[in-house]
Amino acid sequence: MASFEDFKLNRQLLNAIAEAGYTTPTEIQQKAITPILAGQDVMGVAQTGTGKTAAFVLPMLMKLKYAQGNDPRALILSPTRELAMQIEEHIRLFSAYLDLRTVLLYGGLGPKTQKELLAKGCDIIVATPGRFLDLYLEGDINVKSLKFLVLDEADKMMDMGFIGKIHRILEVVPRKRQNLLFSATMGELVRKIAGDFLAFPTIIEVSEQATPAATVVQSLYYVPNLKTKLNLLQHFLKDGDNFSRIIVFCRTKVVADQIFSFLERKYAQDEVRVIHANKGQNTRINSINAFKEGNVRILVATDVAARGLDVSQVSHVFNFDVPIVIEDYVHRIGRTGRAFNTGDAITFASPSEEYNVKKIEKLIRQSIPVYNIPDDVAIEKTGFEEKQAIAREIDTQKKKDDPEFKGAFHEKKYVIKAAAARASGARPNKGKSGKPVKKGTGKPGKRK
């Protein structure tokens, strides 16, 4: 399809699409809009950043058309408040010339304002599952008029443990409705919920599952420790022209705060922001908006922002830590190279993270190109505590693959004991198996 005109959308929608700067439908939009308009259940699998939100919002708005009654006719569920806010923003953008009312529901703040908005009447609810269920059980939401139910980023919902809440929601909504499920990856839990949720769906897969967008150039650096990672990050950020709008993803809130403090000292305070679960909702919203508007160059974030952060012209994504949930890699790097733009995703991997890198490469069915650390980047010595933490993590990974593996610490402990015994002239007690036994236990090997 050459343009949105080919979908036979009404003039109000087409005007809003044109004003939003959308000219050519993406592949998921081309394949999903027509069957959704025809009333079919749809399961869409597409890379992050390929326009999934518009693929279900546009036909849904076309079918709802105008405000009607007080009860919602469409429910869109998302795993995080950031993604819910992003979806609601798309709805407002595309419904600029439509008489439709949208209410956004998420936790982290008091429900009073949200209850007041629901009482005024709405056509579309965009919500996180927990807050929706809370307000439904308190009697603030009537679902009898519901015609659409959408699960967006279904794989993340399953990862976050929402499967129980989703099943509870499916029990209370009307059976006669149109169901839409969209995801970037398709794991076993997603397949299970799809079986419970969709009736003879049209399956749309615009790319191989869990394949990063072709517009994202990936690179990998093996880095020995945290301090060297910081040096390497600083090396890249010196190039302000090319590294113009950057997201740095971290595994934990502690590391995110450390990186933020480091970058805040190196650059102007207004150039960097940090968002994670310990930040207040208003702080997170203000930081994301400042980044979107181009007032902030660097955004440091945990995976809370990996889904639903739709910012155009993100030049680079840095995986400062390799994600433990390997599917999050696809979503992280999908923050760049969006909507036909190109972008770069750079990953730093310590020795304990090489295990997850291999799993990611298996998931995305491609090898990530490896590059050497530039000569002008100082390679720091790994501290004792960090070295111990890396060794413990590697032991844990080996035990996952081989339950019989005792671990380097176990072997080291025995070697140290044996060396000490030899130095004192004593022989370690041995049982039938040849392994040491404690003195005074009465076990085989005790000398009489």
Instruction: Give the pLDDT confidence of 371-428 residue by residue, as tens digits.
Output: 999 999 999 999 999 999 999 999 988 888 887 777 655 555 555 555 555 555 555 4
Which H helix or E strand runs over 349? strand 343-349
- DSSP-derived 3-state class of residue 404: coil
CA nearest to 300, candidates 333, 322, 275: 275
CATH 3.40.50.300 matches 216-397? yes
Q: In the chain, which residues fall in CATH 3.40.50.300? A: 4-205, 216-397
Nearest to 340 by CA among 91, 16, 25: 25
| Residue 283 contacts residue 308 (beta carbons within 8 Å) | no
Taking the C-alpha atoms of residue 297 and residue 200, their distance in angstroms, rounded to an integer, is: 46
Least confident stretch, 66-70, 155-159, 163-167, 343-347: 155-159
Reply yes or no on whether the pLDDT at 247 is more than 80: yes
Strands (E), 1-93: 42-45, 74-77
The answer to whether residue 448 scores a pLDDT higher than 50 is no
Helices (H), 238-353: 253-266, 281-292, 327-333
pLDDT of 407 reads: 66
Position 171 scores a pLDDT of 92
Residue 330 — very low, low, confident or very high, per pLDDT cuts 50/70/90? confident
Highest mean pLDDT (candidates 149-158, 333-342, 364-373): 364-373
Q: Which residue has the higher pLDDT, 280 or 367?
A: 367
**d(Cα 205, Cα 208) in Å, to the nearest integer?**
7
Q: Is 124 helix (H, G, I), strand (E, B) or coil?
A: strand
**181 vs 306 pLDDT, higher one:** 181
Nearest to 82 by CA among 101, 111, 106, 103: 106
Assign 160 to helix, strand or coil: coil
In this structure, CATH architecture of domain 4-205 = 3-Layer(aba) Sandwich (3.40)
Using pLDDT thresholds of 50, 70 and 90, give the confidence band for residue 207.
Answer: low
Lowest mean pLDDT across 37-51, 112-126, 293-307? 293-307
